[in-house]
């Protein structure tokens, strides 16, 4: 069923649009990055995630 009188809203308010935009930006960053940039990017996120996991483990214990 289509809504004929739908209210107009800003595209940035759409959750699916925001998710797709973020995915596109990440893909562009990864595709056009040098080896060193990719290495640094993954290293940063892996170290950050390991730190978060360690902190959660300490809180749990």
- 12 in Cβ contact with 18 (< 8 Å): yes
Q: Is 41 exposed, middle or buried (0-12, 13-18, 19+ CB in 10 A)?
A: middle
pTM of the model: 0.52
* Alpha carbon 51 to its chain's center: 19
* Confidence at residue 19, expressed as pLDDT on a 0 to 100 scale: 94
How many whole angstroms separate alpha carbon 28 and alpha carbon 22? 10
Helices 35-60 and 15-31 cross at an angle (nearest 10°) of: 130
- pLDDT on residue 36: 94
Q: Report the pLDDT value the prediction gives residue 24, as an integer from 0 to 100.
A: 95
Give the pLDDT score at 35. Answer: 93
Q: Mark the ranges of the chain whose per-residue pLDDT is less than 50.
A: none
């Amino acid at each position: 069923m289509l809504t004929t009188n739908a209210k107009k809203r800003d595209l940035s308010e759409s959750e699916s649009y925001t998710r797709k935009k973020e995915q596109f930006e990440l893909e562009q960053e990864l595709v056009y990055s040098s080896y060193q940039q990719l290495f640094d990017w993954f290293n940063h996120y892996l170290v950050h995630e390991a730190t978060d996991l360690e902190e959660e483990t300490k809180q749990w214990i």
